[in-house]
Amino acid sequence: MELSIGEMALIAVAIVVLFGPDKLPQIARDLGAGVRKMRGAVEDIKTEIMKETDNPVSEIKREIEKVKDAAKDFNPMKDIEKDILTEPSSTKTEQVQIKPSEDETYEGPVSR
């Protein structure tokens, strides 16, 4: 919103007529104090919003770092290799492949 010089002069004349020249300094001080309070309130709100929006982001970043650290140490093949190496060969079960011709329960392909 831009005011021209003529509009500002008209507003100044209206203020002088309504309040009188004696009260103008007090009105200007009160208006300045009000503007300062509003700016301070806006800054406080901005600061509070930034704190609230920054906290979840930093918490998520910390959680991601924890997951990354845990993933670095995780090796599923290590557990499998350890199990294979520690099992005696007599306890290992070998899977026997049964041929369909030897299996009595084998029904063959089913057509529909």
Buried/exposed 56-65: b ≥16 CB within 10 Å, e otherwise: eeeeeeeeee
Q: Find, among 24, 3, 4, 29, the residue nearest to 13 by Cα.
A: 24
pLDDT at res. 44: 93
Report d(CA 109, CA 112) in Å as an integer.
10
Are 9 and 1 within 8 A, CB to CB?
no
The arithmetic mean of pLDDT across residues 28-41, rounded, is 94
pLDDT digits (tens, 9 = 90+) for 60-104: 888 899 888 888 877 777 777 777 777 655 555 556 677 777 777
- CB neighbour list of residue 11: distance below 8 Å, 6 or more residues apart: 3
Q: Is the pTM of this model over 0.95?
A: no
pLDDT digits (tens, 9 = 90+) for 4-15: 999 989 988 998
Domain ranges of the chain: 9-86
Between 92 and 23, residue with greater pLDDT: 23
